Amino acid sequence: MKQPEDTATTLRDTQSEPDHRRIVIDRVGVKNLRFPIQIAVDGGAPQSTIATVQLTVELPQEFKGTHMSRFLEVLQDHGPVLHQEDIEHLLRTLIKRLHSERAHLEFEFPFFLRKKAPVTGAPGLVDYTARFSATAGSRHWDLVTTVIANVTTLCPCSKAISSTGAHNQRGQVTLRLRAAHPPHLAEMVSLIERSASSELYSVLKRPDEKAVTERAYANPVFVEDLVRNIASQVDADRRITWWQVEAENFESIHNHNAYAMVEKHT
C-alpha cells in the first residue's frame, strides 16, 4: 500500500520564493487581532483584558512574502501575561522567527481602576485606555507607552465673567512617553487626573456630586492649563526621556472642541 507523502516537505513555500522588484517592505504582518492578555496596571496582581494587537516586521527585498502564521505562533508562545519589560523579548523573537532586521508591535487595551466616591466612599470601576507601541532593530529598541483618560475641566473665563456658575465639560487627555523604566499605568492616570479641574467617577451619590461640582468650580482650568500642568510634572521625572500630551475638551456651550498639545523636543 502506498504511504501518503509528507505534506510538510512537499507543499510549495510561495512566501520564501524570490522577488525581483528589489523593494523592501517597511512593515508587513497582522493587524486588528484581538488577544486576551493580563497586565499589571499598578504593580500589583495582573488584570485580565482584551488587547487589539498589531505585529509586523520589515520584509527584505529578496522575499516575496512573510509567514503570517508565525506572528500568531510567537504571540501564543509568549502567553497572556504582558509586562512592559517583556516587550523587547517579544520583538526579538519576531525578528528571529521571521528572519528580519526590524519588528514592530502595538497592543491597545482597556483597563480599569477601582475608585471610591469622594464623600460616601461608594466603590466603582472606571475604564481607561492604554497602548504599547514598540520597535526593535538589530542594535536598539524603542517603547512608547500611552494612556488615554477622561477628566472634568471648568472654564476660568466663564467663572470670571459670570455672576453665578461656570460652564464645564468632559475632556480627554492622551499622554505618551518614553522611559527606561516606564511608570505604572495607574501612576500615569493619577498624573493626568490631578492636573484637571476634577477626576471622573463611575458611582456618585448626591453628597459626592456636590463635592465634585464644587471641587471643579474651585479649580478652573483651560485646556492650555491642563497640558501645561501635566507637562511640568512629566518633565520633572528623570525616568522619562520624551513625552507628548494632548488634551481635547468636548465643549458644552460651543459647537467645536478646544484642543492643545505640547511635546518635549530633544
Domain assignment present for residue 16? The answer is no
Residue 241 counted as domain residue: yes
CB 135 within 8 A of CB 141: yes
- Residue that is written with C-alpha cell 487627555 in the block: 173
* Residue 94 belongs to a domain: yes
Task: Give the bridge partners for 50, in sequence order.
Answer: 36
What are the b/e assignments for 48-79, b being 16+ CB within 10 Å?
ebebebbbbbbbeeebeebbeebbeebbeebe
b (16+ CB within 10 A) / e for 123-143: eeebebbbbbbbbbeeeebeb
Give φ, ψ of 210 to 5 degrees: -60, -45
pLDDT tens, residue order, the chain (266 aa) = 555 555 556 777 676 677 778 899 999 999 999 999 999 999 888 999 999 999 999 998 888 878 899 999 999 999 999 988 889 999 999 999 999 999 999 999 999 999 999 999 999 999 999 999 999 998 899 999 999 999 999 999 999 999 999 999 999 999 999 998 889 999 999 999 999 999 999 999 999 999 999 999 999 999 999 999 999 999 999 999 999 999 999 999 999 999 999 999 86
Tell whether 100 is covered by a domain: yes
Query: Looking at residue 190, which CATH number applies to its domain?
Result: 3.10.270.10
User: Is residue 13 domain-resident?
Assistant: no
CA–chain centroid gap for 26, Å, is 22
Tell me, yes or no, whether 3 lies in a domain. Answer: no
**Range of 31's domain?**
23-263
Task: Give a yes or no: residue 40 inside a domain.
Answer: yes
Tally of domains within the chain: 1
The verdict on residue 163 lying in a domain is: yes
